[in-house]
Amino acid sequence: MKKKQKLRDFLREWDEGNFDFSYKTAEKQLKKRPDEPDSAGRNEAASPVISAAQSEERLFRRLVPVFTGIFLFAVIGFLLYVVTKMPAFGSAETPANTSEVIRRYLQSGLTETGAVNAVAGIILDYRAFDTLGESHVLFTATIAVLILMLLGKEEDEPADELRILHQDLILRNTAKISVPFLFVFGIYIILNGHLGPGGGFSGGAVIGGALILYSTAFSAQNLKKILNLRSYRIIVIAALSFYSIAKCYSFFCGANGLETIFTPGTPGRIFSAGLILPLNAAVGLVVACTMYGFYSVFTRGRI
């Protein structure tokens, strides 16, 4: 009970920006304290043990900034020293240019994966197993957040002042113009992931941002018709299952030397690079839904 109040006091002071980490306020508090008698009625300053503890605390609070400064400058100096030992940006001695793995990826990546964008070829073909794990980490984190946030009782009304934003003229008109372009840009990044910069994660983040902007500017009730908890579950689980099954098939065929139905195709075409395009789409769906789900759970307590 008392601890809770103390925590709230601390949070309020911190939020209002007048929390002082320096030793001056602590000294003020320490000076103030001896005048007040404690619950037993005796004066604290009379006890020599407590005053010794006070002076120790004062010394500690004075030394904290000094040691922080020494530690910070030591770390900064060490990092700057390491930077001077590194090869210059773009020079021939960088690990990216001397590594055998990178050379192999750059030389035969185009013919083996069919992806013009070498990064997409690496993360979704050579290293697709890592990306699968990353998607599942994101999924697990979302499930944990949803469990924590959906524990409370359900509110029927969307929470408080965010509804006032729905009447904001500037926000509404800006969103009306920019949301379609954001959606198209996100879809372009996802579908063009094997041909140029981009991919599932960045495209999904752009689409998630567009969904957040839409639900802030207009009511989230409109969005609920197509994106609620049920459809969120279906989309995410279907995308991750598709990813797992497709990669299992690809690994099985590749390990046993069988012909797969996913061929590299002609590099540069939109329907090329085998599995990379559908995998990008699956990752993009998961990321977009997760971003919007986080936002929705944070503001309203539910999707």
Partner 1 sequence: MNYIEIALLGLLIISGIAASVSRNLMVSLIIFMAYSVIMSVIWAFLRAPDLAITEAAVGAGISSVLMFITLKKLRDINRGFSAKQEEGSAYEEETETP
- Residues contacting residue 150 through CB under 8 Å, at least 6 positions apart: 297, 301, 302
157 binds partner 1 (CB under 8 A): no
- Least distance in Å: CB of 146 to partner 1? 15
299 binds partner 1 (CB under 8 A): yes
139 close to 286: Cβ distance less than 8 angstroms: yes
One of 122, 128, 291, 303 touching partner 1 (CB under 8 A): 291
DSSP 100-169: HHHHHHHHHHHHHH--SSHHHHIIIIITHHHHHHHHHHHHHHHHHHHHHHTTSPPPSSPPTTHHHHTT-H
Give the integer Cα–Cα distance in Å for 220 and 157: 11
Residues binding partner 1: number (CB under 8 A): 30
C-alpha 287/C-alpha 90 separation (Å) is: 32
Give, as one character, the DSSP assignment of residue 273.
Answer: S
Q: Distance between CA atoms of 237 and 202, rounded to whole angstroms?
A: 20
The span of 91-99, 126-134, 203-211, 235-243 binding partner 1 (CB under 8 A) equals 203-211
Query: Which 177-196 positions form the footprint of partner 1 (CB under 8 A)?
Result: 189, 196
Q: Does 8 bind partner 1 (CB under 8 A)?
A: yes
Contact status, residue 117 vs residue 196, Cβ threshold 8 Å: yes
By the rule CB under 8 A, 156 interacts with partner 1: no
120 token code pair? 């997409």
Is 145 a residue that touches partner 1 (CB under 8 A)?
A: no
Site membership for partner 1, residue 74 (CB under 8 A): no
Does the protein bind partner 1 through residue 295 (CB under 8 A)? yes
* Nearest distance from C-beta of residue 54 to partner 1, angstroms: 28
Residues 216-235 as x/- pattern, contact with partner 1 by CB under 8 A: --------------------
The only residue of 114, 121, 158, 198 in contact with partner 1, by rule CB under 8 A: 198
| Closer Cβ to partner 1, 30 or 191, answer by number | 191
Report which of 199, 177, 201 is spatially closest to residue 287, judged by C-alpha positions.
201
Part in contact with partner 1 (CB under 8 A); list of ranges 27-35, 135-143, 224-232, 294-302: 294-302
Is position 201 an interface residue for partner 1 (rule: CB under 8 A)? yes
> Quick one: which of 4, 32, 85, 153 contacts partner 1 (CB under 8 A)?
4
Cα–Cα distance, 288 to 200 (Å, whole number): 9
Judged by CB under 8 A, the stretch of 32-40, 104-112, 146-154, 199-207 that binds partner 1 is 199-207
DSSP type of residue 22: S
What separation, in Å, do the N-terminal and C-terminal C-alpha atoms of the chain show? 32
Q: Which residues bind partner 1 (CB under 8 A)?
A: 1, 4, 8, 11-12, 14-15, 17-18, 89, 119, 160-161, 189, 196-199, 201-202, 205-206, 208-209, 212, 291, 294-295, 298-299
